[in-house]
Amino acid sequence: MSDLDTAFYRYPPRALVGDYVRSGVGTTFGLLIVISNPANPWIVGIFGGLTLAFALFGLRTIRQHVTEVAVTSNGVFVRGLGRRELAWHALEQVRLRFYGTRRQARGEKMSGGGFLELTLLGAGKKLKFDSNLLGFKDVAWHAARAARENQISLDPTTAGNLLDIGVDADSDTPRPRPQDALQL
Q: What is the pLDDT of residue 91?
A: 98
On the CB side of 20, CA atoms within 13 Å amount to 10
Evaluate if residue 6 carries a pLDDT over 80: yes
User: Over the chain, what is the mean pLDDT?
Assistant: 88
Residue-wise pLDDT for 36-62, tens only, equals 998 899 999 999 999 999 999 999 999
- Helix (H) or strand (E) holding 44, with range, is helix 41-66
Strands (E), the chain: 7-10, 68-71, 75-79, 83-87, 91-99, 115-122, 125-130
Q: Give the pLDDT band (50/70/90) at residue 183.
A: low
Tell me the average pLDDT across 167-171.
89
CA 121 to chain centre: 14
Evaluate if residue 1 carries a pLDDT over 80: no
Tell me the average pLDDT across 16-27.
94
112: three-class secondary structure by DSSP: coil
Q: What is the pLDDT of residue 97?
A: 96
Q: Which amino acid is at 6?
A: T
- DSSP symbols for 135-177: THHHHHHHHHHHHHHTTPPPPHHHHHHHHHTT--TTTTPPPPP
5: three-class secondary structure by DSSP: coil
Structural domain boundaries in the chain: 86-181
Q: Which amino acid is at 103?
A: R
Nearest to 130 by CA among 141, 118, 139: 118
Model pTM? 0.81
CB distance 117 to 131 below 8 Å: yes
Tell me the average pLDDT across 68-90.
95
